[in-house]
Structure 1
């Protein structure tokens, strides 16, 4: 987008004001305006057309202005004189829009926060006659109303042809290309691109349908291919309909039928009483439901019907599901009661009071804190624990009927949220706080009443909703001492917490989200001792903490501040102290897989305490990290799984980061001050990594490697040297293959496997195991972790781990992790821990990098010396591997062998040799050719400027190869006469 004009919409009759953006895009030397889904060249837009696109009312006038928001505050804007006083100029309907906006188009210092146009609507109840189009085929007339066509997203003649074909069964066997439309009694065919609005503008429009029967081919495949060209999906439910365009689905991260079902559920208000699991889709006129894993790309051009499967449809399955949900709810409730661990609450309490004090002293701030973190991190539990500090937590949450989430949905949740829509939220808070005081509850008692959700909680909300009084609440909202008069304790007394806050984003009123209206209402409240918190698992960070450049016009143009996101919800391993049978004597015995559930996010340990089995926890992890997607080419789900297992670093400035945190279990680490960059990671979490590895295996390594190649070509992830990345992939795949061979279908990828089987594909490994007397050694890891420390000074200040110790090796082994050494670390790139009968050891791996010469004999000394990674124990068991996965200029056969070199003979080492394993070529691991082909792509793929990805407009490829080559002399051959040699005649 080049720039956007801001239009102030004023409805005189309704006494309302709102803002509308008019985006202007550049396409080569042309400017294009987007309004209501229309893309129109700027030089074709008249003021009359602009008026119709903005309001579609006949009694609307447009004025050109150049104002700040402050210029119109508390000022009357309804008459010509009002606008003239503000320096406005009336825009003549027949004029071109370009005439009025030359300054905005040409200015290098364009101010997007200005108001550029004011549209005043004087519409009265006298409505223009209903616009219709009549179509006739084979003596069968059909009338299409403007409202009907708009609701179905029909914008041009081509769309209308498709709708006609669907409505008339006699046309169903013909493709869209075989149909034409023309005005009655005329011979000229209407162009497919003619806007539907141009047809309404004619007095009485009757169209004839013409069929090219000579080219009739009743071929369903042709029809399907033609339908796929249409990048829209039409969805119908009862008398309602919606259109989903490809660009909308892409921007919302909708990749399959399952994602579309969720979006449909949120988009149709009439579906609010149903859970997402009850919403199914099928092709119109068919009976079979669409598989949730079907790609969204297959659906474009289709008309789908929403079917609700409820108790009446399947009593048996619904009863069973309800029973399972009740069991699940009880487990989650029990998990929620696990004793709170760690120091997070104390830090949160201090931070909350700190922000509260800032808000009291600076009226620019809005009194709310958005807690942003991945699912299962303990956001709700953290806020609930405020009750132990004597703070009353007013909990508001709307969940679907079948949700197993805890705490349960607030009684009358929709009515509670409707108070935001009706600008009554301040009155609701007044009533709730006064009722808490009247009942004399303690903070603990009030929380318990809310989470039980029984009669007492319903009675509380009944009283609050019945006591809404805007007039009396206005004075209370302005009374700074309102809360302190009721609860005179020091600091914060009441916190209003809105859980599942994405409901505020999906619900709209007058073009604004309920979140924007809620934020505006709480800013007017000035109570000491009061604060707000919003929580959401599925909502993106930008929803509740919009970047400054994307916030509302009023927020951008006024002195408006919001507090930074709160990320520090849970501490990794906070439940590790709950593990039983620990201590050296127990770790020397058989490995206990269940210890892993108390590592990483506290979700797993809490559910384990509530009786959830290890198998079910790993299944849950595999579903959550993929956001329940089974689609093999799900880009984001695959990115999540490979980032978690292969220690990839995702760029903090890309859109995918939001999705990874909101829906794929990534942990948010930090957010930039302007809220445009988000740093996320996947901490060492054995259960989540096990689920991620299962997710990769279920969809196939080939599909995930395809995703990785795409990520590399787009510059989305930072992977360091490519040979090192291929190393991590190959050794992780090797572990997974052996684990599956040993444990078959019951493999959890937490098991330890014999080291000799792990190294089986490397020639000479048996000799080294015999030599070191570690034939009984076991190894097992389901993810790689990165040591972030380098030789930078700040690492010393923050106590970063530059080197390994014996303790770190032990910890990595029990975390089921292998280690990626820091960037710039000399000699060693990767470390894999193992355990044998009496101690621990390591596999040290050095990878040949692209520009480094191949193996040298001196590498043996580094790869067999534990001091190379900081371990000082001289007799520590070390296996060395030198791996060269880069393809040389000449073809070679993949090999593995032992490389040996003599130590200088000393008293302590008389005649000893330094033996390492040498691997050359990815084929040495004996995976199939499809895997090997993809690994070669991983080695060499970089962002390629001539890739189609970088030169598209919508679905169309823009031919720019010559232009791009001209930007890059020396890199590409220049045409005759264009090179510097030719120009300078050298």
Structure 2
């Protein structure tokens, strides 16, 4: 049961003796310490305690003309309430944890010595998928029919489901999500808004110690899932949320992939995001872009990026895909995803202890398909880097993608067996439909023409398996997807950009760029050629 009330009404209905006089002129009278009965008789027919919830609480600490903040005034109102039935919750999503619980190095003496107990700076109240049970027409017989986009509104945050219940259209929900994740910014070079969109869709990991984390949590729909003991680092993420991811993808498309890739290159050069192997990141970008392009071609301006598209069109740029679809008898298959999600590291003991999913199952593939998600396999996972689920007339299947390792010179035929075997990702079902793709997006020393083709290897014939071929699709070069040259140039930068010590970003003071190149080079022998007489060879006359 929820009761809406305000403190002024309670005060007027209560007896004067229950309110103490204030020692501060011009302030509200303070609540007396009271007992259980003092408050319970305000609601004689309701046997509940009182929870007072203040949202957007960071506004309370804004300095006022009187010299006191509203936080001080409110604390004065409630500080004498000893009744355990009164619970005050102060909420703030602006990420400024220090407003109410400062870093330990800044704690005042009174804060360290007080007898009052302070709760952690975050309270876990998970609302993910709480409205999923409101979806009608579920069950296998209904999921075998045409895909119902409206189900997506009841996944992730309950905001979307509650608005859907109120009659808002799916298109309007996606539009709202695209506005909220960008904090209503229309600027193409808004790096924080662009970071939010690409983090949500591409499974980027944002460093917990950077200043951008505060803004992502406060204004760009990120979720804070942990705070360091010294309260200086915030771990944030974007959980799988189909509507929010749709809005993020729409936000990227509205400002342009080129602008968002420029932001990504800038963030990589500053060490803001952790992306893992760069070829894998480029893979996620290319396949997500490919889905978005086909969705726009089919659904035009009405595309919400929740639609499922024919797998045949999705793979159209890869030579030989028709042959594989015919062989597997999945010409009717459909695919659709608007974000990538990451599984956990396979070589960490704590993953096993916490029951983390580091392998796939048939059920996880189904869930990913209906969450509009594709899967980034964890660090340390052998053979397979990415999995894209699809559905055909009678069951589900997967596209298994292996990205070329930068240290491996070329494709090897043994890769065919892993890329055509569902057991490579933990799926044990016999006759499970699998499409394998080997992707090489790293640029070699010599220029080459981008290509795509079928690579075929014979299985060894056994009693249980007659002689047959393991066929996979092989992609070489980002140009194979036929995006424009400006996109390809930026993807090449994504492959190799690292923090560069000579970048002017690290040598700018105010509006002035300091001349420091020689000094920086002198700090980094071997990495940079030293001035004559400054190298160790010269100094030691070797």
TM-score by length of 2: 0.89
User: What secondary structure does 1:508 align onto?
Assistant: coil
Question: In the alignment, which of 777, 785, 789 is matched to residue 341 of structure 2?
Answer: 785
Q: Partners of 2:44 and 2:326 in 1: how far apart?
A: 75
| Offset, 1:537 | 4.3
Q: Partners of 2:31 and 2:197 in 1: how far apart?
A: 36
User: What secondary structure does 2:16 align onto?
Assistant: coil
CA 794–405 in structure 1, closer or farther in 2 if over 3 Å, else same: farther
| Contact 1:399–1:500 under 8 Å retained in 2 | no
Structure with bigger gyration radius: 1
CA 735–820 in structure 1, closer or farther in 2 if over 3 Å, else same: same
| Contact 1:570–1:602 under 8 Å retained in 2 | no
Give the equivalent residue in structure 1 for 2:357.
801
Q: Partners of 2:16 and 2:186 in 1: how far apart?
A: 22
CA 525–983 in structure 1, closer or farther in 2 if over 3 Å, else same: farther
CA 903–613 in structure 1, closer or farther in 2 if over 3 Å, else same: same
Give the equivalent residue in structure 1 for 2:126.
570
CA 402–391 in structure 1, closer or farther in 2 if over 3 Å, else same: closer
CA 637–818 in structure 1, closer or farther in 2 if over 3 Å, else same: same
CA 591–962 in structure 1, closer or farther in 2 if over 3 Å, else same: same
User: What secondary structure does 2:532 align onto?
Assistant: coil
| Offset, 1:555 | 4.4
| Contact 1:789–1:801 under 8 Å retained in 2 | no
Q: Partners of 2:62 and 2:35 in 1: how far apart?
A: 12
Deviations 1:34-72 (A, max 9, x none): xxxxxxxxxxxxxxxxxxxxxxxxxxxxxxxxxxxxxxx
| Offset, 1:979 | 1.4
| Contact 1:537–1:662 under 8 Å retained in 2 | yes
Q: Partners of 1:717 and 1:888 in 2: how far apart?
A: 26
| Contact 1:781–1:816 under 8 Å retained in 2 | yes
| Offset, 1:656 | 1.0
CA 518–935 in structure 1, closer or farther in 2 if over 3 Å, else same: same
User: What secondary structure does 2:407 align onto?
Assistant: coil
| 1:62-141 alignment, distance < 5 Å | none
| Contact 1:738–1:753 under 8 Å retained in 2 | yes
Give the equivalent residue in structure 2 for 1:772.
328
| Contact 1:393–1:497 under 8 Å retained in 2 | no
| Offset, 1:946 | 1.4
| Contact 2:27–2:73 under 8 Å retained in 1 | no
| Offset, 1:873 | 1.3
Q: Partners of 2:291 and 2:16 in 1: how far apart?
A: 39
Q: Partners of 1:879 and 1:961 in 2: how far apart?
A: 50
CA 975–659 in structure 1, closer or farther in 2 if over 3 Å, else same: same
CA 969–702 in structure 1, closer or farther in 2 if over 3 Å, else same: same
| 1:786-935 alignment, distance < 5 Å | 786-935=342-491
| Offset, 1:551 | 5.5
Deviates more, 1:657-666 or 1:826-835: 657-666
CA 852–407 in structure 1, closer or farther in 2 if over 3 Å, else same: farther
Deviations 1:765-804 (A, max 9, x none): 1111111111111000000011124221111111111110
| Contact 1:819–1:831 under 8 Å retained in 2 | yes
CA 539–889 in structure 1, closer or farther in 2 if over 3 Å, else same: closer
| Contact 1:393–1:495 under 8 Å retained in 2 | no
User: What secondary structure does 1:665 align onto?
Assistant: coil
| 1:39-78 alignment, distance < 5 Å | none
Q: Partners of 1:906 and 1:404 in 2: how far apart?
A: 88
| Offset, 1:554 | 6.1
| Offset, 1:412 | 15
Q: Partners of 2:262 and 2:19 in 1: how far apart?
A: 35
CA 501–877 in structure 1, closer or farther in 2 if over 3 Å, else same: same
CA 929–397 in structure 1, closer or farther in 2 if over 3 Å, else same: farther
Q: Partners of 2:34 and 2:513 in 1: how far apart?
A: 45
Deviations 1:326-375 (A, max 9, x none): xxxxxxxxxxxxxxxxxxxxxxxxxxxxxxxxxxxxxxxxxxxxxxxxxx
Q: Partners of 2:162 and 2:24 in 1: how far apart?
A: 23
TM-score by length of 1: 0.50
Q: In the comparison of the two structures, how many residue pairs are matched?
A: 541
CA 547–584 in structure 1, closer or farther in 2 if over 3 Å, else same: same
| Contact 2:34–2:81 under 8 Å retained in 1 | no
| Offset, 1:542 | 3.0
Q: Partners of 1:671 and 1:751 in 2: how far apart?
A: 37
| Offset, 1:533 | 1.4
CA 862–879 in structure 1, closer or farther in 2 if over 3 Å, else same: same
Between structures 1 and 2, the one with greater strand share: 1
Taking CA–CA contacts closer than 8 Å with sequence separation of 6 or more, which of the two structures ends up with the larger relative contact order? 2
| Offset, 1:850 | 1.8
CA 511–408 in structure 1, closer or farther in 2 if over 3 Å, else same: closer
| Offset, 1:514 | 3.6
| Contact 1:629–1:637 under 8 Å retained in 2 | yes
CA 548–926 in structure 1, closer or farther in 2 if over 3 Å, else same: same
| Contact 2:10–2:42 under 8 Å retained in 1 | no
User: What secondary structure does 1:788 align onto?
Assistant: coil
Q: Partners of 2:19 and 2:134 in 1: how far apart?
A: 24
The answer to whether residue 17 in structure 2 is matched with residue 403 in structure 1 is yes
CA 391–868 in structure 1, closer or farther in 2 if over 3 Å, else same: farther
Give the equivalent residue in structure 2 for 1:277.
none
| Offset, 1:958 | 2.2
User: What secondary structure does 2:33 align onto?
Assistant: helix
Q: Partners of 2:192 and 2:343 in 1: how far apart?
A: 25
User: What secondary structure does 1:397 align onto?
Assistant: helix
Deviations 1:787-822 (A, max 9, x none): 124221111111111110011101101110000000
CA 861–538 in structure 1, closer or farther in 2 if over 3 Å, else same: same
| Contact 1:398–1:414 under 8 Å retained in 2 | no
Deviates more, 1:614-623 or 1:726-735: 614-623
Q: Partners of 1:726 and 1:408 in 2: how far apart?
A: 63
CA 951–568 in structure 1, closer or farther in 2 if over 3 Å, else same: same
CA 712–398 in structure 1, closer or farther in 2 if over 3 Å, else same: farther
| Offset, 1:493 | 3.7
| Contact 1:423–1:521 under 8 Å retained in 2 | no
User: What secondary structure does 1:504 align onto?
Assistant: helix
| Contact 1:818–1:831 under 8 Å retained in 2 | yes
| Contact 1:791–1:802 under 8 Å retained in 2 | no
User: What secondary structure does 1:395 align onto?
Assistant: helix
CA 590–533 in structure 1, closer or farther in 2 if over 3 Å, else same: same
Q: Partners of 1:511 and 1:420 in 2: how far apart?
A: 29
User: What secondary structure does 1:389 align onto?
Assistant: coil
| Offset, 1:544 | 3.0
| Contact 1:724–1:829 under 8 Å retained in 2 | yes
Give the equivalent residue in structure 1 for 2:47.
491
Deviations 1:536-563 (A, max 9, x none): 3456333333323355686479788632
| Contact 1:492–1:528 under 8 Å retained in 2 | no
| Offset, 1:421 | 27
Unaligned runs of 5+ in 1: 1-387, 426-483
CA 422–692 in structure 1, closer or farther in 2 if over 3 Å, else same: farther
CA 391–842 in structure 1, closer or farther in 2 if over 3 Å, else same: same
CA 982–517 in structure 1, closer or farther in 2 if over 3 Å, else same: farther
Q: Partners of 1:797 and 1:889 in 2: how far apart?
A: 44
CA 622–411 in structure 1, closer or farther in 2 if over 3 Å, else same: farther
Unaligned runs of 5+ in 2: none
CA 818–421 in structure 1, closer or farther in 2 if over 3 Å, else same: farther
Deviates more, 1:852-861 or 1:515-524: 515-524
Deviates more, 1:602-611 or 1:412-421: 412-421
Deviations 1:90-138 (A, max 9, x none): xxxxxxxxxxxxxxxxxxxxxxxxxxxxxxxxxxxxxxxxxxxxxxxxx
Deviates more, 1:945-954 or 1:649-658: 945-954
Q: Partners of 2:18 and 2:187 in 1: how far apart?
A: 24
Deviations 1:428-473 (A, max 9, x none): xxxxxxxxxxxxxxxxxxxxxxxxxxxxxxxxxxxxxxxxxxxxxx
CA 623–983 in structure 1, closer or farther in 2 if over 3 Å, else same: same
| Offset, 1:523 | 5.3
| Offset, 1:517 | 5.9
| Offset, 1:909 | 3.0
| Offset, 1:736 | 0.2
Q: Partners of 1:764 and 1:629 in 2: how far apart?
A: 43
| Offset, 1:616 | 1.0
User: What secondary structure does 2:387 align onto?
Assistant: strand
Q: Partners of 2:13 and 2:196 in 1: how far apart?
A: 26
Q: Partners of 2:22 and 2:173 in 1: how far apart?
A: 22
Q: Partners of 2:336 and 2:23 in 1: how far apart?
A: 42
| Contact 1:752–1:780 under 8 Å retained in 2 | yes
| Contact 2:31–2:77 under 8 Å retained in 1 | no
Deviations 1:738-759 (A, max 9, x none): 0000000000111110101000
| Contact 2:33–2:81 under 8 Å retained in 1 | no
| Contact 1:756–1:775 under 8 Å retained in 2 | yes
